[in-house]
Structure 1
Amino acid sequence: MNRLAGWYRGRSLRSRLAMLTAAAVAVAIALSALACWFIVRQRLNDQITQTLAQAPLRLGPDTGIFTCAASPEAALASVAEHRRPVPNRWDIELVATDGSACLPGGADRIVRSQPSDFTTTGVTYRDGSYANGTSARVRVSQIRVSVTGQGPKDFTMLTAVAVDGVEESLQQLALLLAGVAALGVVGAGITGRLVARSALKPVDQLTNAVEHIARTEEVGTTIPVRGDDELARLSSSFNSMSTALANSRERQIRLIADAGHELRTPLTSLRTNVDLLIRSNDTGRPLPEATRTKLLGSMKAQMQELTVLIGDLLQLSRPETSRPEREHTVVALHELVHRAVERARLRGPGLQFALVVDPWYVHGDGPALERAVINLLDNAVKYSPPGGTVQLALQDGRLTVRDHGPGIPPDELQYVFDRFWRSPSSRQLPGSGLGLSIVAQAVQDAGGEVALGPATDGGPGTVATVRLPGQATAP
């Protein structure tokens, strides 16, 4: 059994489906054939029983003259000797308990009696046979007749009908049904193979597509979807997965290209400054102190820019699974905003900050949310004119940061949260183009929304709006 199960599991899905289909049809045909055979057999037996039921239960002119002897064999010999053939519809035999028997004229065979026949009361039917071995259906009843020279005597009346023709017909029917069943099984196997090939065609297409991707690494390959069954859902899921992989690879390639582009500028500047310092030392002509100080300051600024850029890249490249639920705690957003404003004051010492901050508690990653607020304030500080005002409000879970700078053109608003995107008008300003991407990620992780748009009061500047679910009192 284990070897058979192992052999079955080792077959292809198409072969297993074809075998299961053929087996199911074979069982159905076999059961139908058996049911048909038994029904026909029962109907024929019922007809024979009805024929026996029409036989007379008493002796009369229709039953002919009976010849009695000491045994059924002797009675049969006596009937044959007298040659008084009388056509009988039934084979009738009278058997007494002492072994004597009586047969009608024309009888050519005797029915085998059974001991139970002599104790049976009423009329019963049983399967029996003739003395020559031919099968018969026998009706058993009790009768009293007068025997010449003996007077009244009790006999068991056996009325029989040969059923050898019925059995032959049943055998022929069994052979016919077996042949039909065999043809049905063969046809079921062929049909199952065709059905399996047609039903599993989407699976073949899916397999070919997967093998193509594995061989060529060309993600994004899709297969046609037909219908709405399970295979169609599987095809749709594969297409969605393939498209997602293609988009992921595209984003990865774009991230690498953008990161390489952003890293090239500070690295080139650092290499130039280091080469200049090395050349000065190698030639023995030291740089002027002011120039040397300027070079070291520039190198420090470039290193800080690299540090910020690498930190931003690590923040954005961190997968969702690396931000476990334990980092999401209750955060006092108003306290976080005050800390971010103090840092922003240091970066914009000539700016004014107008604050309206109400208590608000949210559930999220505190450091990530603080980084998001700091990035929003950094943008406001960067684009605010000298002596300008940065307005910040936190009311009912709605945080707004508004500057009075040049603003963002309407056709560029759709790109502001893209990684490494920087407005053409601000490329000369410091930054990597990752700040707003970090803001969007932190806010989305906390279940909130962020938007950037022009000032709504008609004045210059940009307004950043963050909505975070929470409550005004500490939980």
Structure 2
Amino acid sequence: MAPPPAPPRTPGLRQRLVHWYRSRSLRGRLTFLSAAAVAVAIALSALACWFIAEKQLYGQVRADLAGATLPPPPRVPLPCYPTAEQALAEQPTSLTTENGGAVARDTQYVAANPSGVCLPPNATKAIVVQPGDLTGFKLKNGESIIRDGRFTDGTPAVVRISPTRTGSRPALLMVATSTQPVEDSLQGLAILLGSVSAGGILLAAIAGRLVARSALKPVDRLTDAVEHIARTEEVGTTIPVRGDDEIARLSTSFNSMSTALANSRERQTRLIADAGHELRTPLTSLRTNVDLLIRSNDTGRPLPAATKTKLLGNMKAQMQELTVLIGDLLQLSRPDTPKSGPTPTVVALHEITGRAVERAELRGPGLVFETATEPWYVHGDAAGLERAVINLLDNAVKYSPPGGTIDVRLHKGVLTVRDHGPGIPPDELQYVFDRFWRSPSSRQLPGSGLGLSIVAQSVREAGGEVTLGPAADGGPGALATVRLPGGPAPE
């Protein structure tokens, strides 16, 4: 038989406090923490003030009692009784001191033999004797013991014990000062400090609420902006930044993130629009050629063999153009972060350059390639870097005149590709690595305008940089320069 299930465990005080705290809003937490901090500070200050006052008051009472002049002993021994209460009930009515004066009413004697309490005449209260008081018989003349005590009516007191004599018998002189006024003063001070502390905590809670509300206004604006973006999907919304504190840093980070999202959406929209525009032309041409072939078959009037061969050749070229364009779009669709791409490996840049030159020679028959490469190894994506070098060479082949020369150099990690074509106008250099950008003078040439964008992305992912500008010697043509970190030997 299975044991009965254990009853649910009741959460303790600590768990309930933690649950209550976590269920509060941030504004409520700040208010609670500020009030709690002030409460602790006020409580510690009040306690310190009370203890200091207590020490000072009691110290003053003890000092006054220690410095007081002791009364002279009585001329004749006082009658002693076993207890202070009995002595108080049966005290004598008149006695004199050795110098003939009356015995002080605030004094009390403890006789050694017979042991007992001896009170002066007309005493209204007696000091409660403690067992340790008898050690005062061992004191020398002039020495005293001061301790805390009380009277028989319960009133607190400070007691001074000194050796003396009652007649011919040794005795202890006990002189006491009531500390009830000190107790009353301390009690009043405690009430005052408690009231001040309660008021301070209340004011701290109100001030904490106001401070939390003021401090969290930027967070409220940030929350409103985030909710607005989530509701409307309008990225790019920013909030004003004031100061340079943590809230300002958070606002700046949010504005940067919102701007980056807006730019990303804009690039995505532009990419889709440009891709649609670039795809429209080959698709339209393909559809026209296919419709022409279908119509010729449906009407029973076949096209001439030469025309049909030309149409099929055009369709093949358009399919190849579509394939290249789609591949370029897939390459550029990857995020511009190293973690999104393939795992970097050690790549022999000189070997990649050699293979790319061989492929470029097939695409540019009649062109002269002057190549000089040195061993250089880099960390990166081999396929991406090879495609980048091929795109640079294709760009040089495209703009080189018939029979022109293309110079390819690789020296200490710097790869240069120089053609002798028309070059790039200075006002167009800032756009050469933009996606789908094509020079107005070269839009009649084949291409999608994505080649150099792929070059820039691949080189950037490998930790390098690429530039394109006029030839260094001032001659015709353009010079592409790629700098990649690495070394002459594989690491």
Q: 1:88 to 1:460 in 2, by over 3 A?
A: farther
Verify the 8 A CA contact 1:83 1:106 in the aligned structure 2: no
SS at match of 1:278: helix
The 2-side partners of 1:364 and 1:196 are apart by 51
**Is the counterpart of residue 323 in structure 1 residue 341 in structure 2?**
yes
- Provide, for residues 81-123 of structure 1, a one-character-per-residue CA deviation record: whole Å limited to 9, x for no partner: 5599x99988210122545443335532221212221233432
What is the correspondence of 1:67-82 to structure 2 with a 5 Å cutoff?
68=79, 70=81, 72=84, 76=88, 81=93
Q: Which position in structure 1 is the counterpart of 2:155?
A: 134
The 2-side partners of 1:365 and 1:88 are apart by 112
**1:64 to partner: Cα distance:** 9.8
**1:228 to partner: Cα distance:** 2.0
The 1-side partners of 2:77 and 2:201 are apart by 56
- Provide, for residues 259-318 of structure 1, a one-character-per-residue CA deviation record: whole Å limited to 9, x for no partner: 111111111111111122222222222222222211111111111001000101111112
**1:174 to partner: Cα distance:** 0.8
Verify the 8 A CA contact 1:67 1:78 in the aligned structure 2: no
Verify the 8 A CA contact 1:358 1:395 in the aligned structure 2: yes
- Provide, for residues 403-429 of structure 1, a one-character-per-residue CA deviation record: whole Å limited to 9, x for no partner: 222211110011000010000111111
Verify the 8 A CA contact 1:92 1:157 in the aligned structure 2: yes
Work out the percentage of aligned pairs sharing the same amino acid: 67
Structure 1 residue identity aligned to 2:380 = G
Verify the 8 A CA contact 1:419 1:434 in the aligned structure 2: yes
- Provide, for residues 50-87 of structure 1, a one-character-per-residue CA deviation record: whole Å limited to 9, x for no partner: 22113334616xx8998535465565456685599x99
Q: 1:52 to 1:213 in 2, by over 3 A?
A: same
* 2:68 aligned to which of 55, 58, 62: 55
* 2:38 aligned to which of 25, 50, 57: 25
**Is the counterpart of residue 222 in structure 1 residue 238 in structure 2?**
yes
**1:322 to partner: Cα distance:** 2.8
What is the correspondence of 1:334-353 to structure 2 with a 5 Å cutoff?
334-353=350-369
Residue ranges of structure 2 left out of the alignment (5+ in a row): 1-13
The 1-side partners of 2:417 and 2:85 are apart by 124
Q: Which position in structure 2 is the counterpart of 1:91?
A: 106
**1:201 to partner: Cα distance:** 2.0
Verify the 8 A CA contact 2:105 2:121 in the aligned structure 1: no
Verify the 8 A CA contact 2:95 2:102 in the aligned structure 1: no
The 1-side partners of 2:226 and 2:454 are apart by 35
Structure 1 residue identity aligned to 2:108 = E
SS at match of 1:450: strand
The 2-side partners of 1:448 and 1:81 are apart by 114
Structure 2 residue identity aligned to 1:452 = L
Verify the 8 A CA contact 2:146 2:161 in the aligned structure 1: yes
The 1-side partners of 2:51 and 2:292 are apart by 107
SS at match of 2:158: strand
- Provide, for residues 12-70 of structure 1, a one-character-per-residue CA deviation record: whole Å limited to 9, x for no partner: 1111111111111111111111111111111111111122113334616xx89985354
**Is the counterpart of residue 385 in structure 1 residue 401 in structure 2?**
yes
**Is the counterpart of residue 449 in structure 1 residue 456 in structure 2?**
no
Q: 1:132 to 1:468 in 2, by over 3 A?
A: closer
- Provide, for residues 153-177 of structure 1, a one-character-per-residue CA deviation record: whole Å limited to 9, x for no partner: 1222211111112111111111111
Structure 2 residue identity aligned to 1:11 = R
Structure 2 residue identity aligned to 1:399 = L
What is the correspondence of 1:354-393 to structure 2 with a 5 Å cutoff?
354-393=370-409
* 1:191 aligned to which of 207, 231, 235: 207
Q: 1:191 to 1:66 in 2, by over 3 A?
A: farther
Task: Give the TM-score normalised by structure 1.
Answer: 0.91
- Provide, for residues 351-388 of structure 1, a one-character-per-residue CA deviation record: whole Å limited to 9, x for no partner: 22222233333332222111111111111111112222
**Is the counterpart of residue 419 in structure 1 residue 435 in structure 2?**
yes
Count of residues in correspondence between the two structures: 465
* 1:177 aligned to which of 164, 169, 193: 193
Task: Give the TM-score normalised by structure 2.
Answer: 0.88
Q: Which position in structure 1 is the counterpart of 2:145?
A: 124
Q: Which position in structure 1 is the counterpart of 2:285?
A: 269
The 1-side partners of 2:287 and 2:173 are apart by 127
The 2-side partners of 1:235 and 1:43 are apart by 54
Residue ranges of structure 1 left out of the alignment (5+ in a row): 147-151
The 2-side partners of 1:272 and 1:415 are apart by 33
Structure 1 residue identity aligned to 2:223 = T
SS at match of 1:104: coil
Q: 1:158 to 1:306 in 2, by over 3 A?
A: same
Q: Which position in structure 1 is the counterpart of 2:8?
A: none
